[in-house]
Amino acid sequence: MNKMTFDEFIDAVQKDVRPMLSRSYRDAELRVVPFQKMNSSYVALQMENAGSGVVPNVNLTNLYRDYRDGIAFDRILKAVTEQLQSDPVVDAAEILDYSRVKEKLFIRVSDAEKNRDVLAKTPHKEVDGLAVTYHIQVQKGSDFTASTQVTNVLLEAYGITPEQLHADAIESGKILYPSRVEPLASVMMGMMGGGLDTDMVSFEDAGLVMISNTQGMNGAAALFYPGQMDLVAEKMGGDYMIIPSSVHELLVIRDDGTGYSTLETMVREVNSAIVSPEDQLSDHVYHYDAKDHVLEKAETFEGRMAQKKLEHEGTKEKTSVLQRLNDKKETLGSHPGKAAPNRLKDMML
């Protein structure tokens, strides 16, 4: 049997899913729209039901991929039906009330360049290619989070500054999704059934350290919690490199001075072959300077250090020249009489 084209698949889903909806959703409006969010864009099936404050989006692009991979169309229809009817009902008045939203805010981090279109419509803070965005938790389960992103329109409705939004989202986020900083070896032991014990491997002995949150979802943002970067530096014993494993976790390794190029090549290869596009954080390795308290791309760090070295050498050279001039002036002053003009002439030649 020939597979449906994408357009045929969309038409079939839209037509066949309505009879499967419960009675309370039978009169809902179904529409197919292009949808864009952080790190991904897709064709979505939306359902707007009277009296509901939420418009669920079902990713038809991913479902069509499943269909092409052999998943039966009936199973896909069932999944679409469940997604449309299981989304939480959102009180629109609550979303517009910042006093109620404030405690449900959290942050996510993504690649700024890959998400320019979305970022143009949302308040955000950029740190050398990484974008911190702000989200409202609508519902939280053991392995999922239903949320909506704070847009420029919402920010204007709240009547607050981007700076206040950032501060509030950081404070709320660290409570909703506490950070998790552990040697990777301990994490792996826990995954293999050995139980999670951070004392199994000390940070001094750890080659790699993982940074995430306790839920393991969008945990890379935990790096931006107050004092987190310096806390990691204390555990690592100084400067460290940050490997952007995904939006869900980061891997950290001590900066031993060997450079970043090999690590960055590895990151690009892993992103290309293994990490799904929606989970990719960056193709760049980052660096944290524990002395200057600066997070930046490793290449930016090396450039900044090279500039510092040039400035330092220039200062030393300038000091050396001034010192030689002062020495000559002192010598000139110690030989009064006719010899002085000759020494001055020598200095000018």
What SS3 state is found at 314?
A: helix
Task: Write down the pLDDT at residue 206.
Answer: 60
Pairwise pLDDT comparison (308 vs 224), residue with the higher score: 224
- On the question of pLDDT at 349 being above 60, the answer is no
CATH (one of 1.10.3470, 3.30.160, 2.60.420, 2.60.120) for 6-89: 3.30.160
Q: Which of 237, 264, 255, 259 is nearest to 303 (CA)?
A: 259
Asked whether 41 and 56 are in contact (CB, 8 A), the reply is no
What SS3 state is found at 292?
A: coil
Task: Write down the pLDDT at residue 116.
Answer: 92
Q: Which two tokens stand for residue 146?
A: 């239903």
Measured CA to CA, the distance from residue 260 to residue 297 in angstroms comes to 10
Task: Write down the pLDDT at residue 54.
Answer: 59
Domain boundaries, the chain: 6-89, 93-176, 179-302, 308-348
Measured CA to CA, the distance from residue 228 to residue 255 in angstroms comes to 17
State pLDDT tens for residues 292-332. 999 999 999 999 999 988 887 777 666 665 676 676 666 66
Pairwise pLDDT comparison (256 vs 330), residue with the higher score: 256
Task: Write down the pLDDT at residue 348.
Answer: 39
State pLDDT tens for residues 37-86. 877 788 999 887 655 555 677 889 989 999 999 999 999 999 999 888 87
Mean pLDDT of the chain: 84
